[in-house]
Amino acid sequence: MAYSKELFEYGRSVLNRRRQQASQSLTERKQELYSSIPRLAQIENELLLTGYGAIRAAMSGGQGLQQLKSIKEKNLSLQQERRGILQSVGLPEDYLTEPFSCSICRDTGYKDGKRCQCYEKILREEAFRRLNSQTPLSLCDFSNFDLSYYPVSAEAGPSPKEQMANILQYCRHYAQTFSFASPNLLMSGRTGLGKTHLSLSIAKSVIENGFGVIYGSAPDFLSQIERERFSRTENDLQTLELMLACDLLILDDLGAEFSTTFTCATIYQLMNSRLNKQLPTIISTNLTSQELLKLYGERVSSRLIGSYVPLFFAGQDIRQKKEQAALS
Ligand SMILES: [Zn+2]
């Protein structure tokens, strides 16, 4: 994935900090232990001396090789003695080595010349965080979704309140059990019925479970992608790439964007590519299925109908009702 220069700088600074922390922790551990068990400090010095001795012996050749063997034995027995002491005071064997966050790359970010998984994770999460930074994720939660604003009576079938209670339960379960096998969701219904609230609640919960989630409104993302596409900087297409690759994409307010050939093609590319990669997507829209067909054509609307679980939001504008309730 093509990340920006700033993102790599951020990644390197995180790794630097982790290495410094590991080194600092080791220093503190030594200070604490060596004062109560001085033999451990002696062992460290002796190990250092065997290291120098080994280098000298290896360079002198001939008789040196015989010496080298005994130095190695000495080194191993010192390490064994140290492990024994640590064990006797109830500490792990490796307590006197740097406690790196990642044992694979020792917080260098690289293993065998390639970026380590830990480094990839830092870059990915920060890229998602930056994309989501405009979204009030902390404000919405399943627990503050208020069903009392939905009507309890209906002309036929279940009331809006019952329908919304089912949708709330479905979304909560979806968020708690989210995996790459989770279905795509299409939230539709008039404006102000809680689609944004519930999709934000899902985003928050899925992020807390450690997945990479991108959340945002279709108009914002599409204009950002268009800007990046025509500016041709080194960050070229970064937003689109991230949206194609994240674990869960939540696209709010589809249909509110200024519609052009470019936006329709981009929506199709996003939906189709994520379906092929089997990465879940949640789309919310105020449009009806006929309006979606008219706006995006057959290719997009047939995918929305065929590959997305529909959730119909019922009731009257909740935002309006809340405002009225606050005034009265
Ligand atoms: Zn690593």
What is the tally of structural domains in the chain?
2
Specify the pLDDT at position 25: 96
Mean pLDDT (whole number) for 161-182: 94
Tens digits of residue pLDDT in 201-214:
999 888 888 888 89
Statement to judge: residues 199 and 323 lie in one domain = yes
Distance 116 CA to ligand 1 centre (A): 5
Q: Whole-number mean pLDDT of the chain? A: 88
Q: Are residues 293 and 209 in the same domain?
A: yes
Determine the pLDDT at residue 56: 84
Spatial strand order in the sheet of 184-188: 213-217, 248-254, 281-285, 184-188, 308-312
The pTM of the full predicted model, rounded to 2 decimals, is 0.70
Task: Tell me the CA–centroid distance for residue 239 and ligand 1, in Å.
Answer: 25
- Helix H segments across 160-283? 160-176, 195-208, 218-231, 238-245, 261-276
Q: Is residue 124 part of a domain?
A: no
Give distance in angstroms: CA of 128 to centre of ligand 1: 20
Query: Within a domain: residue 38?
Result: yes
Percentage, residues of the chain above pLDDT 90: 49
State pLDDT tens for residues 40-76. Answer: 999 999 999 998 888 888 888 777 778 888 889 999 9
Residue 123 lies inside a defined structural domain of this protein: no
Q: Is 240 within 8 Å of 246 (Cβ atoms)? A: no
How close is the Cα of 223 to the center of ligand 1, in Å?
Answer: 35
Is residue 200 located within the same domain as residue 301? yes
Domain boundary among 73, 91, 117: 117
Which one has a higher pLDDT value, 89 or 128? 89
Do residues 288 and 160 share a domain?
yes
Please indicate, yes or no, whether residues 40 and 153 belong to a single structural domain of this protein.
no
Tell whether 244 is covered by a domain: yes
Q: Are residues 111 and 147 in the same domain?
A: no
Average pLDDT on 87-114 reads 94
Cα–ligand 1 centroid distance for 108 (angstroms): 7
Mark whether 73 and 216 lie in a shared domain: no
Using DSSP, state whether 186 is helix, strand or coil.
strand
Terminal Cα-to-Cα distance of the chain (whole angstroms): 53
Ligand 1 centre to CA of 279 (Å) is 25
**What's 282's DSSP letter?**
E
- The reply to whether 127 falls in a domain is no
Q: Is the pLDDT of residue 1 over 60?
A: no
Centre of ligand 1 from the C-alpha of residue 137, in Å: 29
> Separation of 107 CA from ligand 1 center, angstroms?
5
Distances (CA, A) of 45 to 75, 99, 319: 11, 21, 71
For residues 85 and 137, the model is more confident at 85
- Shared domain for 113 and 140, answered yes or no, is no
CA 8 to ligand 1 centroid distance, Å? 15
Flag whether 129 is in a domain. no
Position with higher pLDDT, 10 vs 1: 10
For ligand 1, the distance from its centroid to the CA atom of residue 109, given in whole angstroms, is: 5
Q: What percent of the chain has pLDDT over 70?
A: 92
Expressed in angstroms and rounded, the spacing between residue 22 Cα and the centre of ligand 1 is: 13
Q: Which of 12-16, 220-224, 276-280 has the lowest mean pLDDT?
A: 220-224
Residue 234 has pLDDT above 70, yes or no: no
Per-residue pLDDT band at 172 (split at 50, 70, 90)? very high
Are residue 92 and residue 178 in the same domain, yes or no?
no
Residue 204: CATH number of its domain: 3.40.50.300
User: Could you read off the pLDDT of 284-306 as tens digits, one per residue?
Assistant: 999 988 998 998 889 898 988 89
**What pLDDT digit, counting tens, does each position of 103-149 carry?**
999 999 999 988 999 998 898 888 888 877 777 766 678 888 888 88
Do 144 and 96 have their domain in common? Answer: no
The pLDDT score that the predictor gives to residue 210 is: 82
- Both 97 and 185 in one domain: the answer is no
How remote is the CA of residue 12 from the centroid of ligand 1, in Å? 12
- Ligand 1 center to residue 7 CA distance, Å? 17
Distance 101 CA to ligand 1 centre (A): 8
Q: Is the dihedral of CA 94, 98, 101, 104 positive or negative?
A: negative
Compute, in angstroms, the gap from residue 87 CA to the centroid of ligand 1.
Answer: 28
**Are 160 and 207 part of one and the same domain?**
yes
> What is the domain extent for residue 159?
134-327
Please tell me the distance between residue 113's alpha carbon and the centre of ligand 1 in angstroms.
12
Ligand 1 centroid from CA 110, angstroms = 7
Domain membership flag for residue 149: yes
CA of 15 to the centre of ligand 1 (A): 9
pLDDT above 60 (res 236): no
85 CA to centre of ligand 1 in angstroms: 30
Distance 242 CA to ligand 1 centre (A): 21
Which among 84, 117, 150 is the end of a domain?
117
Q: Report which of 250, 116, 153, 158 is spatially closest to residue 195, judged by C-alpha positions.
A: 250
